[in-house]
Every structure is written in structure tokens, then in C-alpha cells.
Structure 1
Amino acid sequence: MRPQKVQDKDIMMSLVKTFRSKGYDGASLADLAESTGLKKASLYHRFPKGKEEMATAVLKDIDEWVEEHIVKALMNENKTPIERLINGLDQIRTSYDGGKESCIFRALSLGQSLELFDVHIKNGMNKWITVFKNVGISFGLSDADALKQAMNTLIKIQGSLIVTKGLNDLSIFETTLKEIEDSYLKQ
């Protein structure tokens, strides 16, 4: 068996980038092949079910990264609530490259892809809400207030990514992360 010329990790990074920038409907097989450096046939060999399987693999890959980096940082009981929050927000900053990258949930929730990935998107968003609710509780908020704070946090992050892209101003994302930090610290 010949060694792979393009590594799975590199393929996944390329697919993520393409789906983030073009969305599911906008990303053609030619775009996906070009971004990965593979021919369409090689891409189909790795993903026999086509573009839907590629997007599902992207969602799984991102979910694993979020779990390993963001969730672990926010749920680390060996750290103070402040340290957990700051570490988690730093991981979010890394995940979105300081606001340069779009959210995969946004990219895959437009057009026909919402029906295809509805469960993945809901589960992903609920995961974020759950971990930020836990952070709120660790800051002394009631369950109801922690849930409200978590929902507002998710809305702020997602909204700031859209506005950051629309205005081409990375400071919006950074300012929003600071506002989120401050909103928890004032509890």
C-alpha cells in the first residue's frame, strides 16, 4: 500500500476552511477537491457518500476539537472559575483565529444544509450553552440566571463573528470576548 500523499489532518483542515468560507451549498466538489489537493476520485475514495459525508466529518472534527480545548478548559475543576473562563475564551479566540474564521454552524445552517445537519448544529450549540451555564453556576449564578448568561454568551460569540466579518473589523470579536469575560466577573 502506498503512503498517502495528503494527510487526513491536512484534508480535514482544508475541508473546514472551504465549508466555513463557502457554506455547504456554495462548496462544489471542485472547490473541495482543489482545497484538499486531491482529485475528485480520491476525495470520493475517502468520502464515498460525497459532500454530505465530508461536512459530517468536518462537524465531527470540530466537535472533537471543541471538546478537547474549549469544553475541557471551561470545565476544569482544578482551576478557579476565573481561570476556567479566561482559558476557555482564549481557546475560543484560537478556534476562530481571533475572529478571522466564520463559525461552521453558520456556514452549515444556510440553505438545504440546515435540514442535513440540524441535529449536529443543535447538539453543538447545546454543548456550548451547557458549559457556559456550568461556568455561570461556578460564579454563583442560579441555574436560571446561569442558563440566561450562557445563552447570551453564545449569541454574543456568534453575532460578533458575523459582524466582525461584515465590517472586516477583528476588534469587534476581541471586544465581545472581553465583554463576555467582564459579564461573568461582575457576578
Structure 2
Amino acid sequence: MVRLNTFGNVLSGIGLTMLGVVIFLKYFIESQGITGGAEQYPFYGWLIALVVLGVVLLISLITTFTDLTGYVHPNDKMYANMLTFMSTISTLLVYGLLLDDTIPDNVTVQGYLFDMGTMIVIAYIFLFVFVIWGSKIAAGAEVGQVKEMTSRFMLVSLVLGAIMAGVNFALNFIRTLTNSYAWSAGALVVFALVMVLMIVIFLSRRYEPIGSE
């Protein structure tokens, strides 16, 4: 059902907009020195975005892995899950932005959140590689040539591991260089967005047989 998929896209947009409002409120309140409980408003906004994300994830699971809502075009699924991916990583990282980094324990939590976001992006690189070269890696598997496929995958895993390690090093280097969670989290979100757009642009040009409605 395209309507449910579209509804999920709208919710993703609302969630991302809410996160933008949360970031604006945080820095506006801090810059104006507003007190009296107003400093909690960004956190309340983040909670709303988190609830919206929960609904978006549920819709994505339903439309992607089941036929409960009827036929959904592959392109619609891909675009919707692109928004879901960005909403998830943004919600995760914005929470760290709301923490008071003058408290050592909060700095530790920010480190955990940044590492989690990094792992999510690195996992996406794995998908990116297999979307592009998956057919060559798995060639022959359908006729039982599992050893051939495994041999190719062994070499690919070395290259893929090196790429993932390099990305992990680069992202953590940015965090060390800037010594700022905000800047490093922003860089991570931008990198994730570039990766998502690259794979969507690449796949949007590829023909894919589709089922019937």
C-alpha cells in the first residue's frame, strides 16, 4: 500500500524537522542564557522525534518485509528506507548533542553514541560494496559453485575490511582533531548522507524486474 509508505515518508520528514528544531532550541537557549526549565525543551522535542522514529521503523519493517499492505514499488521502498536510515542515525547522534559535555560521564556516553553511529555507517558501506559487486562475488553460487564464491569473498573481505577500518579511523580522527562531539557528529551525518545518496542514485538507474500490483 503506497499510502502507508507515503505516510512513513511524511513521518520521517516530520522527525527530521523536529530534530532540526531541537538543535536550534538547544543553541538558542544556551546563547540567550534562558533558564527556568526551558533547557529541558530540546529534550522533550527529541522524545517526540524518538516516538516518530519508532513508528517510522515499524512502517518500514511492514512495507519492506511483508505483504500486509499490498504491493509497494521497489523504488518507493528504497527511498523510504533511505529516510528511515537518516532519521535513525540523526536521532541517535542528536541525543548526544543534548548531553552536558562538562560532565565526564556524559562525554563517555557521547563516545558510545558516536561509535554506534560509526558502526551503522560502516555497515552501510558493506551494503554499498555488495550492491555494486555482489553479482560478481556470488557468480556460480546458483549452480553450486560455493567454493568459487567463497574464494572471491575471502579477497573481497580483505579489501572491505581495509575500507571499513579506514573509514572508522578517519571518522575518529575527525573527532580527535575537532575535540567536539557536535562537529564530529555533524561530519558523520554528512558522510552517511553522501553514502545514502550515492547508492540511491546508482540504483535508480538500474533496471529491476518488479512484481505485479
Which entry has the higher C-alpha Rg, 1 or 2? Answer: 2
Give the alignment's TM-score, normalised by structure 2: 0.32
Bigger share in helix: 2
Give the alignment's TM-score, normalised by structure 1: 0.36
